[in-house]
Amino acid sequence: MFVYELEQVLYTKFDQFHQFLLGLSFHGYETNTFSFIYRSLTICIYNEVYINNIVVTGNYLSYVIHLVARLRVEFSIQDLGHLNYYLSIKVQYGLHGFLFS
């Protein structure tokens, strides 16, 4: 799981960000307008927006890296590295994925 910070204030760019992800075949959730998912037969990529941070994770690292590269072209983002905490929940990494605790 990786975290990126938007250097612009997201709420001024959120509509552009939302349209950008829809253009990449991501789908939003009706219950949470800040969560997006891309799903195919073998690929699953999640994108969560929190204030001016973007959490990106998925089951294929190469696709996550490709998404981040596309985001960098469209938006000014800064890599904050691996996610350690999310909403005050610790993220632990293991061989088979991650665990919230």
Confidence band of 12 (pLDDT split at 50, 70, 90): low
CA–CA dist 86, 38 (Å, integer): 21
Residue 16 has pLDDT above 70, yes or no: yes
Query: Is the pLDDT confidence value at 6 over 70?
Result: no
Provide mean pLDDT across the span 46-75: 86
pTM (two decimals): 0.75
Looking at residues 54-71, what average pLDDT do you find? 88
- Judge whether residue 94 has pLDDT over 90: no
Q: Which two tokens stand for residue 76?
A: 């000014």
